[in-house]
Amino acid sequence: MGLLDNIKNTINPVTIDQFKATIGKRGGIATTNRFAITITPPNQALLNLDGLLGGGALVNDPRDINILCQSCSLPGKLVMTGDYDAYGANPRKYPQSSIQEDVTFSFLLTNDFYAKKIFDKWQNSIVDQVSQLVSYDSEYKTDVFIQELDKDNTPVYAVRLRDAYPTSVNSVDLTNDNTDATASVSVTMTYDYFETEKPMKSLINSTSDKLSIFKRLI
């Protein structure tokens, strides 16, 4: 077989069997509806909304925020470049800096507006509404974990947003047009940087049962 034949074999389209084999050996195709987040408010005072249930059970369990998350995105990054032109010959681009994209989450609103109250209070703890004084970083920043899960709810990919906090809590639309419409709130968070992490099953073990119940309810 000559060199030309080798090149032809290399660039030929893959077969269906090759495609299926590649997908199969990597555990199948990822889906967008299997994920878990872990957001722990940086200040326990943020959870002090409604007090305690009888028997000492915490009404404002911080894990509830994670379960109420309907959607989110994995962060993206853009490398900024400049143009390099050495004496007018073959101009090229060179990296200058990087920009990380903010991450937006959508949370289902329960009848007590728990998620909205948490993020409203969190934002107010960052900048005082009257004095406009900004708090210390440690008072409003926290790490956020986002994990992609496989069909067995096993984490396969994880990202940690370092020192994250909410910059935008969107308005909530209310309408009489549809009596069955559910309410949700969109929250955008910024962060110092993100890094991929080793997936941690312990982050979702405590919420997996609650998550299955929640999905049945809606």
Between 41-50, 74-83, 141-150, 162-171, the lowest mean confidence (pLDDT) is in 41-50
Q: Which pLDDT belongs to residue 20?
A: 86
Q: What is the pLDDT of residues 144-161, one digit of tens each?
A: 999 999 888 889 999 999
Q: How far apart are CA 206 and CA 188, in angstroms?
A: 25
Q: Please, which residues have CB within 8 angstroms of residue 210's CB and are 6 or more apart in sequence?
A: 63, 67
- Position 175 pLDDT exceeds 90: no
User: Ramachandran region of residue 209, left (φ > 0), alpha (ψ -120 to 50) or beta?
Assistant: alpha
Q: Please, which residues have CB within 8 angstroms of residue 144's CB and are 6 or more apart in sequence?
A: 37, 38, 39, 103, 160, 161, 164, 189, 191
**Range 26-217 has CATH code 1.10.1760:** no
Q: How far apart are CA 169 and CA 104, in angstroms?
A: 10
Q: Which pLDDT belongs to residue 16?
A: 87
Q: What is the pLDDT of residues 57-75, one digit of tens each?
A: 445 677 889 999 999 999 9
Nearest alpha-carbon partner for 208 in 155, 153, 158 = 153
Q: What is the pLDDT of residues 97-114, one digit of tens each?
A: 999 999 999 999 999 898
pLDDT, average across residues 85-96: 79
pTM: 0.77
Handedness of CA 146, 40, 116, 180 (dihedral sign): positive
Q: Which pLDDT belongs to residue 217?
A: 41
* CA distance to 31, 72, 85, 112, per residue, from 102 (Å): 22, 11, 33, 28
Single-letter residue type at 142: T
